Amino acid sequence: MGHLILRVTIKTLFAPIILFALYVQFHGDYGPGGGFQAGVILASAFILHALGFGLDRCQRVIPPSWLPVGMALGVLIYAGTGVYTLLFGGNFLDYDVIQPDSHHHAGQHIGIIAVELGVGLAVAATMLQIYYAFAGREPEPMDDSW
Amino acid sequence: MSMILFFAAAASDAEPMMEVTGQAASVAIEILILTLLVATAVSMIRMRQLFGVAMLSGIYSLLSAAFFVALDAVDVAFTEAAVGAGVSTVLVLSGIALTAKREMPVDRRRQLLPLLIVFVTGGALVYSTIDMPAFGDPQAPANAYVGAEYIAQTPQDVEVPNIVTAVLASYRGFDTLGETVVVFTAGLACLLLLGTTLRGGGKGGRD
Amino acid sequence: MIEFILARYNYWIVIALMMTGLYIVFSRGNLVKTLIGLNLFQTSVFIFYITMGKVFGGTAPILLGGHAEEGHGEEHGGDHAESTHGTAYGEHEDSYASDPLHEGGAVNTIEETHAELSPGESLHTAPEGAVNELARAETPAGDVAKAALDHGTEILYSNPLPHVLILTAIVVGVATTAVGLSLAVRIREAYGTVEEDRLEAIDNQDDRAEVLV
């Protein structure tokens, strides 16, 4: 299945897309980007691969059973950061208590990176989960065209 | 000429001529993109081939991403380009593959009432825009209070150059947690509705 | 007159797009097309929000000049930032090592420190040099900084708040659209159609059958 040109293009683009997703994830403080965008881009790399090479090969790399775990883990990382700051005497998601001595607001930076990581993981897993759910269904034969 | 004068008035005091023409050009680009958006949306009404509708909605998303760049919303444009033109189109296409490829022709009489409702509602909304603040007004209420506060405070409070990230993850972190939970719940709902491949119902990757 | 129209053109386009989406939702019976119409409606709201946040003469809400320099301190200008800090805090070493949150006793000295050199501000209220530096650089960001410098005004940013709201709304929107689509898929599997008229007819048939039994 698939055209040769499509396959070669997908193979060439696959790694750069993942690299770009990581760049967007970790450079979100400085330029446009962040967890939401990075998650979607990361998921789109795998969706592209699945479109070109079939769902089975993609599911061998990322088994469907991982994805609910990834979704939950992302939300838990986010909420866990909030609970962490709560335990250290701050408000929920008050990152300043992570590094109270810093005059560069290092606590804010660490907190934002942790939170964005959670968002990225949750969004990437959710998008891939949604795609798996749709692509895993066998299309019924459509005799009547509508 | 009056258009240029208008932008001269809208821009801050005594701009050089070059800047004014630059602003006029950017507004011209915005108007062009908006007109293309309307054309795409209207052609979506007429089209009954759902594949074409999905493609048009992808084009629509890409155009709106371009519009967001023109309005300085780079983060939003980034998201819209990745989500709207990328993932969303793929999802709609796989949805179409599982449901129907064409739409049934609609009864002419059934279109009259919606048309009437749409025109009345649209007319009321257009009437209400007369009182709206002018486009791009720095003094508009939407730009005056909390948004200005975020711009002023971010260098002291968060020290992250991207104000959008600072607001998203720090000032409004609780809000974003809610949004993440909504995304998570939506993914869970899809999983429950369509099931995993565990049930043996249909494996993808047909050769 | 033309000023009035230009200042409200965006709103009218948003209304036109919104009404197009609404019309598709009202008049079409196909569930998938209804969902696409709903998407159209949603995107028009996004465009409306972003239109509200635009400020003429503004730039994207990513801090330029002194603040950007500050943010990149850890990476690029590392030693420069460190050296200023070293001299600034050297004299007040004992007071700045503690934090008001954790050591109540040090609050007085901390306040004194803030009054004398105000670490948060002294570094930020002098972006003149940094803007100068940036203006000389031949970058797109330099243009805005240069323009701001030429007129002796502050750099103007567009309102970031609508951007944040819409950014998350886009991702949530695609997730909820996927839920709607999967409902349509299940309806198709149960009824064999996604046209509202037919669904209604099938449902009515079932009701009648139940009444007869």
Q: What is the DSSP letter of B204?
A: S
Q: Which of B105-119, C32-46, C52-66 has the lowest average pLDDT?
A: C52-66
CB contact under 8 A, B67 and C47: yes
Count of CB pairs separated by less than 8 Å, B with C = 305
**Residue range B161-166: average pLDDT?**
89
Residues in B closer than 8 angstroms to A137, CB to CB, are 98, 194, 201-202
CB contact under 8 A, B132 and C12: no
Helices and strands: H and E segment counts in chain B? 10, 0
CB contact under 8 A, C29 and B104: yes
Residues in C closer than 8 angstroms to A133, CB to CB, are 182
The span from the CA of A74 to the CA of B180, in Å, is 8
Find the DSSP H helices in chain B.
2-10, 17-46, 50-70, 74-82, 89-98, 108-128, 141-144, 146-157, 163-165, 173-194
CB contact under 8 A, C171 and A30: no
Angle CA(C104)–CA(C109)–CA(C114) in degrees, nearest 5? 110
- CB-based contacts of C101: which residues, under 8 Å, 6+ apart? A89, A90, A96, A97, A100
CB contact under 8 A, B122 and C28: no
CB contact under 8 A, A125 and B75: no
- Say yes or no to pLDDT of C96 above 90: no
Q: What is the DSSP letter of C30?
A: B
Q: Which of C134, C171, C198 to mutate to test the interface with B (most CBs of B within 10 A)?
A: C171
Domains of chain C: 2-54+159-212 (1.10.287.3510), 66-150 (no CATH)
- Say yes or no to pLDDT of C67 above 60: no
Q: What is the DSSP letter of C56?
A: T
Closest in B91, B173, B184 to A71, CB measured: B184
Residue B102's φ and ψ, nearest 5 degrees, are: -135, 160
Find the DSSP H helices in C54-159.
66-71, 78-90, 93-96, 107-117, 119-122, 128-136, 140-150
Domain ranges of chain A: 4-135
B16 contact A CB<8A: no
A123 contact C CB<8A: yes
CB contact under 8 A, C63 and B155: yes
CB contact under 8 A, C176 and B186: yes
Confidence of residue B16 (pLDDT cuts 50, 70, 90): low
The span from the CA of B153 to the CA of B166, in Å, is 10
Given this model, what pLDDT does residue C15 score? 94
H or E, element range at C172: helix C160-191
Q: Which of A112, A138, A143 to mutate to test the interface with B (most CBs of B within 10 A)?
A: A112
B193 contact C CB<8A: yes
Closest in B162, B170, B187 to A130, CB measured: B187
Given this model, what pLDDT does residue C100 score? 41
Question: Which residue reads 């040090």 in tokens?
Answer: C106
Q: How far is CA B200 from CA A99, B195, B203, C185, in A?
A: 50, 10, 7, 17
The span from the CA of B124 to the CA of B118, in Å, is 10
Question: Model confidence over C162-187: pLDDT tens digits?
Answer: 999 999 999 999 999 999 999 999 99
The CA distance from A82 to the nearest CA of chain B, in Å, is 9
Confidence of residue C212 (pLDDT cuts 50, 70, 90): confident
B120 contact A CB<8A: no
Given this model, what pLDDT does residue A104 score? 78
- CB-based contacts of C154: which residues, under 8 Å, 6+ apart? C148
Angle of helix A4-26 versus helix A35-53 axis, rounded to 10: 160
Contact A40, B86 (CB under 8 A): yes
Q: Which of C69, C95, C99, C197 to mutate to test the interface with A (most CBs of A within 10 A)?
A: C99
Closest in A65, A108, A127 to B160, CB measured: A108
Question: Model confidence over C103-140: pLDDT tens digits?
Answer: 443 334 344 444 444 443 433 343 444 444 444 444 44
Nearest Cα to Cα of residue B75 among A105, C46, C71, A75 = C46
Query: B13 or B18: whose pLDDT is higher?
Result: B18
- Say yes or no to pLDDT of A123 above 60: yes
Q: Provide the sign of the torsion angle of the four alpha carbons C22, C23, C27, C28, taken in this order.
A: negative
Given this model, what pLDDT does residue C89 score? 39
Return the SS3 of A136.
Answer: coil
Given this model, what pLDDT does residue C153 score? 56
Residue C13: closest C-alpha in chain B: B34
**Using only C-alpha atoms, what is the Rg of chain C?**
29
Given this model, what pLDDT does residue C6 score? 81
- CB-based contacts of C162: which residues, under 8 Å, 6+ apart? B73, B142, B147, C49, C50, C52, C53
What rounded mean pLDDT belongs to chain C? 69
**Count of all residues that appear for chain A in the document:** 146
At C103, the amino acid letter reads E
**Using only C-alpha atoms, what is the Rg of chain A?**
19
A6 contact C CB<8A: no
Contact C30, B104 (CB under 8 A): yes
Given this model, what pLDDT does residue A141 score? 64
CB contact under 8 A, B102 and A139: no
The span from the CA of B78 to the CA of A40, in Å, is 11
Using a pLDDT cut of 90, give the percent of chain C over it: 29
Tell the burial category of B128 from Cβ atoms under 10 Å away from its Cβ (0-12, 13-18, 19+).
exposed
- CB-based contacts of B33: which residues, under 8 Å, 6+ apart? B63, B66, B67, B70
Confidence of residue C5 (pLDDT cuts 50, 70, 90): confident
How remote is the C-alpha of C186 from its chain's centroid?
35
Question: Model confidence over B108-157: pLDDT tens digits?
Answer: 777 889 999 999 999 999 999 988 888 888 888 888 888 888 888 888 88
B201 contact A CB<8A: yes
Closest in A31, A34, A89 to C62, CB measured: A31
The CA distance from A109 to the nearest CA of chain C, in Å, is 10
**Residue range B187-196: average pLDDT?**
87
The span from the CA of A28 to the CA of A41, in Å, is 14
Confidence of residue A20 (pLDDT cuts 50, 70, 90): very high
Question: Which neighbouring-strand residues pair with A113?
Answer: none
Closest in B15, B92, B130 to C36, CB measured: B92
Closest in B82, B102, B186 to A146, CB measured: B102
SS3 sequence of B123-153: HHHHHHHHHCCCCCCCCCHHHHCHHHHHHHH
Contact A108, A118 (CB under 8 A): no
Task: Locate the DSSP E strands across chain B.
Answer: none
Return the SS3 of C118.
Answer: coil
In this complex, the chains that touch A, judged by 3 or more CB pairs closer than 8 A, are B, C
Closest in C74, C89, C182 to A133, CB measured: C182
